[in-house]
Structure 1
């Protein structure tokens, strides 16, 4: 299986039409069709349902497309990092859960722009579960995860700062008038909860009892869409402060009491050689951290 064939396949996936894909790739339509047929024969599955005007992916095709994207991304990143002169060039990819502590990562990227201006940095926002999966698949160079999280298979640096847990509510909610929210205040609320296992166990410990069963009506992995659910009256979102800007909006953030804080860490795989670009980023970050980090 060649990378060239994977690129043909992904272009057809994007265009949903072999003719348009052939035009974009500057190859003939029969060439694309033949390569796709050979790919299906090699895999032993049908990747596309072919219609008169467009083609759709089968279930096997959807899975293979996701894997092919990661393979091509990883190959492109490896080539960019190998093909470099004495000047540090290349690409790094950082997967990040939503965290206000990302400001330190931003400062490091800014500093990297001064010391290694030809390094390209990609930020991919997702939850901690996918961060770890893609990190150890080699797609991400680094990941930003919220604590607590298991870091036994990772090297890490703690990021400065903390963020308070609380609830995101509409301004017309009775909770919006409170200075802080207790566990008892949550008992009769419709809750929109983070999907991250570490966050769930962390909040469960804060509740202090297994007797209190929250009414969880929806879950989220990124808070922006959850904030829309809050705005539309689905429920209130348990979340971290500093992610959604509530200024000039109909939303309010109310902290939990007793106060519950979260920290974040930058992680990367143990015993894995780093590219010069990744090493340059890590050096830029270390230079920003206090001496006791």
Structure 2
């Protein structure tokens, strides 16, 4: 039994398809099938049920994958520990980030980290929060910048800080006018029940948070537009197409284009908990630990 055979089997289990697994592994599909057959012959059990449309794990296959993942993780842990010992400040960290978090927080963090640890290579992977949880659980990222709650039970995390939520409205909106005239200090979310909302598309954690806050206030938000880009959402708000909720880091980011008016919400001000997540039990390299430490220090200076 070879380590690469375990890795091949795990990739097939993840993809449920020989062709996609072969593509991810950068080998020919016949070679992948041959290696799996050799492995099954050696251990004496069938790991997968094959049919024309999909590949499914057998009962023995599910048990095998659980142990195989532990072996592959142990080898990776050993490699990373030896790399830390030999390179000290060197190494590589793969960071997953949600678009709205990465574009507004990482510019504060990465320059400081690069200056302190110039020999550590950073690779960024941007995706939705839902996909990032899966990628991190599968070991495709070392760390991911996410917000609570996490749905993937295999992830552990370190809290970075609490980020308050603001309301974004068009400049001519009655709430903006009242706030400018100092006749309105904060807004209750219940006051927004008849408003038109512009929200992120499904798969983004902040979209769910927006819906949860509205539902807790007793109403379902009336969604008129959806976008995968928070900048687009803010431009639509500024153009008078609706309102939205915005993480405060984004609300404070300087812009020169269409800009909505950002208003504070009433106490207790809703917030989201930002975290750095990683697979539970996964060895964190010195490079990864250094990134977490740098991120915490940089964000502490931004959080009110």
Q: By the TM > 0.5 criterion, same fold? A: yes
Of residues 248, 251, 256 in structure 1, which corresponds to 2:265? 256
Cα distance in 1 for residues equivalent to 2:227 and 2:296: 32
Of residues 272, 277, 280 in structure 2, which corresponds to 1:267? 277
Q: Determine the structure 1 residue equivalent to 2:95.
A: 94
Looking at secondary structure, tell me which structure has more helix per residue. Answer: 2
Q: 1:146 deviation in Å?
A: 1.6
Q: 1:270 deviation in Å?
A: 0.9
Provide Cα deviations, 1:122-144, integer angstroms capped at 9, x if missing partner: 33444321221221232221111
Q: Contact between 2:238 and 2:261, CA under 8 Å: does it hold in 1?
A: no
Please state if 1:204 is matched with 2:206: no
Q: 1:252 to 1:288 in 2, by over 3 A?
A: closer
- Structure 1 unmatched ranges of 5 or more: 1-37, 44-77
Q: 1:266 deviation in Å?
A: 0.9
1:42-191 alignment, distance < 5 Å: 86-97=87-98, 98-99=100-101, 106-107=108-109, 110-111=112-113, 113-114=115-116, 116-150=117-151, 152-160=153-161, 162-179=162-179, 180-191=186-197
> How many pairs does the alignment contain?
218
Q: Contact between 2:154 and 2:280, CA under 8 Å: does it hold in 1?
A: yes
Please state if 1:226 is matched with 2:233: yes
Q: Contact between 1:108 and 1:288, CA under 8 Å: does it hold in 2?
A: no
Q: 1:235 to 1:209 in 2, by over 3 A?
A: closer
- Per the normalisation by structure 2, the TM-score is 0.56
Provide Cα deviations, 1:10-57, integer angstroms capped at 9, x if missing partner: xxxxxxxxxxxxxxxxxxxxxxxxxxxx969999xxxxxxxxxxxxxx
Q: 1:286 to 1:241 in 2, by over 3 A?
A: closer
3-state SS of paired residue (1:267): strand
3-state SS of paired residue (1:172): coil
C-alpha root-mean-square deviation of aligned residues, in Å? 4.1
Provide Cα deviations, 1:50-85, integer angstroms capped at 9, x if missing partner: xxxxxxxxxxxxxxxxxxxxxxxxxxxx9x979895
Of residues 186, 193, 207 in structure 1, which corresponds to 2:199? 193
Q: Contact between 1:144 and 1:267, CA under 8 Å: does it hold in 2?
A: yes
- Structure 2 unmatched ranges of 5 or more: 1-26, 33-75, 180-185
